[in-house]
């Protein structure tokens, strides 16, 4: 990723199923905030799919200090959890947990076949649910008078700025805008020009915006 503070994660929860030599491989994916949420999701899938032969798992959480875990859940060592985790790494996603449930179909796949099957289940699920890039932005609270508020909001959107909230008060209008952190100085200059110096922008925190990545 071009910026260490930008990262990919899954767009939404979802499931994807493939069948290989009569065995069903069902991958359940979810976005999680930390290891505790990942473990809770794993526990929920295992409870739901209690009748399956295996519920193998992998997750990656964190932006910079990433934590990774995987489990073969009874499959031969290295044939399930590790290839699942490798797909998450290769696709560059974090804050993501995958559980692949296997219903055995009676035909042995061999170590190589298992590696391919578990990896394919996760890869297919990622393709199906899609990913988003989360980008860090500075939150700026812009205060402007009522007469200029409507035009300013239109100008902000036309210039590609992320308008997050507009609040009308008795003395003015507060517009919360997300601005990429390296661009805050340029935003202040743009705002001064766009409003003739009548609007004021103050720091209001930090968050992430999401951009469709596939």
Domain architecture of the chain: domains with CATH? 7-129 (3.30.230.30), 133-212 (3.30.70.240)
pTM score, whole prediction = 0.74
For residue 53, pLDDT over 60 is answered with yes
In sequence order, what are the residues at sequence separation of 6 or more whose Cβ sits closer than 8 angstroms to the Cβ of residue 9? Answer: 31, 93, 94, 95, 96, 131, 132, 134
Q: What percent of the chain has pLDDT over 90?
A: 58
Q: Would you call 199 helix, strand, or coil by DSSP? A: coil
What single DSSP character describes residue 182?
A: G
Angle at alpha carbon of residue 210, lines to 209 and 211, rounded to 5°: 125
Q: How far apart are CA 205 and CA 114, in angstroms?
A: 47
What's the full length of the chain, in residues?
A: 214
The encoded tokens of residue 128 equal: 């199906």
Q: Does the pLDDT of residue 149 top 50, yes or no?
A: yes
15-40 confidence digits (pLDDT tens) = 999 999 999 999 999 999 999 999 99
In the chain, how many H helices and how many E strands? 5, 10
Cβ-based burial of 142 (10 A; exposed 0-12, middle 13-18, buried ≥19): buried
63-115 residue pLDDT tens? 777 899 999 999 999 999 999 999 999 999 999 999 999 999 988 999 999 99
Q: Phi-psi category of 130—alpha, beta or left, where left has phi over 0 and alpha has psi -120 to 50?
A: left
């Amino acid at each position: 990723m071009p910026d260490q503070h930008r990262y990919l994660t899954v767009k939404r929860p979802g499931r994807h199923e493939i069948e290989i030599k009569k065995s069903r491989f069902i991958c359940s994916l979810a976005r999680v905030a930390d290891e505790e949420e990942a473990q809770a999701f794993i526990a929920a899938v295992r409870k739901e799919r209690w009748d399956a032969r295996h519920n193998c798992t992998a997750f990656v959480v964190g932006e910079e200090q990433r934590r990774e875990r995987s489990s073969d859940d009874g499959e031969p060592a290295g044939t399930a959890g590790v290839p699942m985790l490798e797909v998450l790494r290769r696709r560059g996603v974090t804050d993501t947990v995958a559980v692949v449930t296997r219903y055995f179909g009676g035909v042995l796949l061999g170590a190589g076949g298992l590696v391919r099957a578990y990896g394919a289940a996760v890869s297919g699920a990622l393709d199906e649910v899609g990913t988003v890039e989360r980008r860090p932005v500075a939150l700026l609270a812009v205060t402007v008078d009522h007469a200029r508020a409507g035009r300013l909001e239109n100008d902000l959107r036309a210039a590609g700025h992320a308008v997050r909230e507009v609040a009308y008060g008795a003395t003015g209008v507060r517009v919360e805008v997300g601005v990429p952190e390296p661009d805050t100085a340029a935003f202040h200059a743009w705002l001064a020009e766009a409003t003739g110096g009548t609007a004021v922008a103050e720091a209001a925190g930090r968050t992430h915006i999401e951009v469709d990545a596939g």
